[in-house]
């Protein structure tokens, strides 16, 4: 889609999983876990059009060949349908908002986590965007050793979540990552910050493979 006009192709290594390209975000779908193993998207100030209102159009993702999780999988489970690419960062136009509600972009999240520290982190990313030319995000669940499975499709409930960011300001990149245990927390989101390298170790995902010299900008542990 728009990758060629960006400073670099910001997608992770796409050699595993079914890669789904939507208009404003890309994901790798894990059939085994019935959710994305990662979701990648770009944010600029164009992502925050106040005239674009949230519409809860949760639905199956028609592009997932093995069929994505369904709304019924989450019903009465005690878990929220937690966005990976947040609706609040998809206020570009009606298409971006609508696509953010595909079930392939959802992960089962405890209400206290989804509406608390995870929401705070999403807000912090938007804050970083306001001081940057552009921010490239890859986010997702940590899928090994899940807490449990829900619904007829056996959607995995992750034990933790990650978010990695590369932000550009005046052409200079900087990077940071976060790993959040899947639990309610009142701690600062920056208490969960780490390096992109560390998240690669934990997840086995090779992030930002087309960006050279990652060590030049990454945060340290």
Q: Which residues are catalytic?
A: 83
**Whole-angstrom distance, CA of residue 215 vs CA of residue 219:** 8
φ and ψ of 102, to 5 deg: -65, 140
Burial of 18-31, coded b for 16+ CB within 10 Å and e otherwise, reads bbbebebbbbbbbe
According to DSSP, the residues that pair with 30 across neighbouring strands are 35
Instruction: Give CA–CA dist 180/193, Å, rounded.
Output: 9
- Residue appearing with tokens 């990313």: 125
């Amino acid at each position: 889609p728009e990758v060629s006009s960006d400073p670099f192709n910001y997608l992770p290594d796409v050699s595993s999983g079914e890669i789904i390209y939507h208009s404003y975000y890309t994901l790798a779908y894990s059939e085994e876990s019935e959710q994305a193993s990662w979701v990648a998207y770009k944010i600029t100030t164009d992502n925050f059009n106040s005239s674009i209102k949230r519409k809860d159009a949760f639905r199956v993702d028609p592009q997932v060949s093995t069929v994505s999780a369904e709304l019924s999988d989450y019903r009465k489970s005690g878990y929220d349908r937690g966005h990976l690419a947040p609706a609040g960062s998809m206020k570009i136009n009606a298409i971006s908002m609508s696509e953010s509600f595909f079930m392939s972009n959802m992960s089962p999240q405890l209400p206290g986590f989804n509406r608390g520290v995870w929401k705070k982190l999403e807000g912090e990313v938007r804050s970083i965007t306001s001081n940057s030319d552009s921010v490239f995000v890859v986010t997702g669940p940590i899928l090994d050793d899940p807490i449990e499975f829900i619904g007829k499709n056996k959607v995995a409930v992750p034990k933790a979540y990650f978010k990695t960011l590369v932000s550009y300001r005046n052409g200079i990149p900087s990077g940071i990552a976060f790993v959040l245990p899947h639990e309610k927390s009142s701690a600062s989101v920056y208490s969960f910050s780490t390096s992109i390298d560390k998240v690669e170790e934990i997840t086995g995902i090779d992030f930002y493979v087309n960006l050279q010299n990652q060590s030049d900008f990454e945060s340290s542990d």
